[in-house]
Structure 1
Amino acid sequence: MREDIKVYVIKKASKKFLYMKYVDPETNREITRSTKTNRMKEAIRAAGRWESELRSGQYKGTCRTKWEDFRERYEVEHVSGLSPETDAKISAVFNMVEQILNPKRLAELTAANISRYQSELRHLGRSEQTIKSHTTHLKAALNWAVSVELLPKAPKISLPSRAKGATMMKGRPITGEEFERMIACTESIVKSSEKASEWRLLLNGIWHSGLRLGEALNLTWDNPDKLQIEFIRDRVMILIPAELEKGNRDRRLPTIPAFAELISSVPESERTGYVFNPPPMRHTESGRLVDEQVGRIITKIGKKAGVKVSEKGGKVKYASAHDLRRSFAARLALKVPAQQLMQMMRHESIETTLKFYVGQDADNLSDLVYSAFENGHSRDFLRDPAPIEAKSPPQRVDVKG
């Protein structure tokens, strides 16, 4: 209840009807509205109804929250409970908002300004999926602001819609030959044979596991608070705690034999700390590289190897760590059903698995079909199925005691 709101009836010169007004308790501005009557009693009743509505919750104050105060509260009270990967994405979105819109107050994030933000992202060459992701994070943040009464009402935000049939995949699965070229070019980028062996171990690790880059760098031998290797007989599992899992639940992830062989090749005396620990390229750098630094170096390796994954608008994109993950999924799609592939890739939706990885390789499908004919199965392949014969009812057997 806002007891500090009081509505009065006033008469305006040259106006047919009486008016009612109140002073906004936050801005000290006068807000007026017509009573639509020139009779004082009716006007007073109208003012009483309006005052009651404002005091009971229809009053929406002007948002005076500073952007920096909102950001700090949102990151501390809400984002801190999300996964590190989501935390990093939200931080990147807010940084871009500050770069493009530079808001001083939260109220400046209007529908019009967010539409301008989307337009500027397109101008910078961001994909429609990236723009949609940014907009979704902003929408969630503004809805949270409303829930904690930092904002009276969230603006209506339109999510970008992609052209029909367009793909959201920014890169593509690379071939085995392209991967071998990347492995061969690694030393020329990191400038050291000793460093190259560590970088090749990481590249092979992602190639044979399908882990996201951040997950691979968080994979440990002995830390239960991070991703952890688990040996079960001749197999290797990866234990993923919920706070580091995109689906936000604890998971034991199976791996393929090639990954188990790669991990088992590491001497037991060296199985401590992080599994993959690629060193910095420069001698002047110290400490462990962060995801973004590692990602940039892998892309440099892809560029040196000449592995182009997309060319759009004259802009060439070279193989990245995520393209290695895509390659793992594409190879696995030829060997396991979609539901199992979804679990191995930890997609939140089966639609993602089906859209990008199942049924995409027409050449391999063609090889399988032709192989069936060449192996003498063409008649079986073309023949109509044999009719199912009706089973005769079971005969009754009398058993004499």
Structure 2
Amino acid sequence: MTSRPRDTGAERLLRDLAPQVLGVVLRRFRDFGAAEDAVQEALVAAATQWPRDGVPDEPRAWLIQVASRRITDHVRSEAARRRREAFVVSLVPPEQQIALAADSDEAVEQDDTLALLFMCCHPALSTSSAIALTLRAVGGLTTAEIARAFLVPEATMAQRISRAKQTIKASGVPFQMPTSEERSARLGAVLHVLYLIFNEGYTTSSGPALHRDDLSSEAIRLTRAVRALLPDDGEVAGLLALMLLTDARRAARTGPEGQLIPLADQDRSLWDQGAIAEGVALVTAALSRGSIGVYQVQAAIAAVHDEAARAEDTDWPQILALYDLLLGMSDNPMVALSHAIATAMVRGPEAGLELLRSLDADPRLQGHHRLDAARAHLLERAGDREAAIAHYRRAAGRTTNLPEQSYLLSQAARLCDARK
């Protein structure tokens, strides 16, 4: 699959439009793989032509037209080898053929992103495949980015996405919003994919920028849309609260040169108090309903951080208690890593390091820079400067996010200077 070129304003516009255009083309032609290929070609054409010729007055309509032309050309080339009528009949059930010829203006104008999101999380797919496909089709992540989010090789993820497309095509699943029962069955995968899209936006897995505002903002927008469908679901509210409470710190996370500023050193006056207030209200209301889920607990942890006026005011015992609860609900190794850090903040660095040692055998964390970064931080607090330097450097060598890499190397350099 051709990866989309990255830009500034044009890239953001293309990312916003991509799932909407895919929804229209998919509804017309009923072939997920062919529709996505056609849309990707249209996006590449736009990235090439728009900087030169200017953005068209109706960019969405332009992309739909180009993508439709690409997929139509594909259909015609197939029809040249096998009669066109036979091709259409074999690919599209008779009752759907009218839809191909008559896609109303109203249908073209609607935003299909949410329908596309739930379609990609169809139960015909395994949860991991559904999440990967949605990240590709709705989130716009590259295969490499998705592989890093899942902690698997890129080739493995490419095969998983390809199989997911074929499964969607073979299942004949209609492109439409699911029923309430279908929504319930798919909701877990939908929330997980939105969580991963947000995380990739908040701290990108690679590249020169610490975060990608377009991804995190799109995840928040889609989560708001899901909550509008399911206003009484505590986990939907919890996920939205978690995103808002985390994203509220975005302006304070980087310095003038784009360098990473850790949570303890951030200027908290830069935090978005409106987002914090909304997030706290959401998670408070969700927790009061009595059914507690993993996103609500994570949001509660984020709220404790955000409500501390200074880093030294952070209620670490409360955070540790919440991580104790979360550990019993999730086997996510990143949760275990954060739990070890919280333990160190309450019981001392040696207690945290002991927990980190138990994570060394987890294959999901082998070679992951966050494990080395956490160990370096706790070793420094424990007074083992040389070991801390080694792990800061090792962590820097294992991340492909340049601001993170620069920060980790600067920590190692600081400790080297201190020993002179």
TM-score (norm. length: structure 1): 0.26
Which of the two has higher C-alpha Rg? 1
Task: Indicate the structure with greater helix content.
Answer: 2
- If each structure's strand is expressed as a fraction of its own residues, which one has the higher value? 1
Taking structure 2 as the reference length, the TM-score comes to 0.25
